[in-house]
Amino acid sequence: MTALNPATINTVVFDFDDTLRESEPRGNDFFRQYLVSQGHEFAPEAARAAQLWEHRYWATSPELLADMDAFDGDETPAFWQNYSRLNMRALGLVEDEAVRLAPLVHAHMREHYRPRNLLRPRTLETLAELRAAGLSLGMLTNRSRAVYADMHALGLDLYMDFYLTGGQLGAYKPDKQIFLNLLKFIGRGPQEVLYVGDNYYADVVGAHAAGLPAVLVDARGLYAGYDALTIETLDELLPLLELETIG
């Protein structure tokens, strides 16, 4: 674990999805609600296990890479139907039931899931206070395409000195190369940059591999017991960086 030294930090870089912004309703909640309507029930621990699987899967896992190769990328109906099956297996459904429900779940998500994009609590206020304290701010996401329109729609672009994607930097979290390329692009050393994200496997593991300190946003207690510096809301960054609120 790379230690956080507030005295050396001059730049804070954020993940985008589920760190700066969130979906309402959350996709995994909507997914499970449909399964409940089909007669299945899930204990909180089953939901937690599935969310941890989801985070590991999307952290450029070998399983994800194999599925993208098998289904010609992650934008095909076949990929998402298989993903539905895997998600149900992570929730504890037996294989036959997961296979039976996969096309139904995929169709339901495609036809009915229309989430709102919202800022996470205290996001803009925290960004304003970090900037007022003299810190540079940026965003780095694993998305393959530029996210300016999404940033602009939420007013985040006004607070950021840069916003980059894995596609632009030629690597994806948790590969340490994405963070090394980031450091080279912004002209900073690893101890000068704090990375903030919600996915332990992608954000914390990847940042630490490149020598960057990291903070994990874990509003739901998903990573209780993990070896990570954890916050629930972004304004908790201020005391971690030994800054006082000005709002």
At residue 2, the pLDDT reads 85
At residue 245, the pLDDT reads 61
Q: Sort residue 31 into left (φ over 0), alpha (ψ -120 to 50) or beta.
A: alpha
Which residues does the chain have with pLDDT short of 70?
245-247
Helix (H, G, I), strand (E, B) or coil at 14: strand
Residue 139 DSSP class: E
At residue 146, the pLDDT reads 85
Q: What is the pLDDT of residues 116-132, one digit of tens each?
A: 999 999 999 999 999 99
Helix (H, G, I), strand (E, B) or coil at 154: coil
At residue 169, the pLDDT reads 96
How would you classify the pairing of strands 11-14 and 193-197?
A: parallel
Task: Give CATH for domain 6-22+117-240.
Answer: 3.40.50.1000
Angle at 185 between CA 217 and CA 210, to 5 degrees: 50
Exposure pattern of 183-208 as b/e (b: 16+ CB <10 Å)?
beebebebbbbbbbbbbbbbbbbbbb
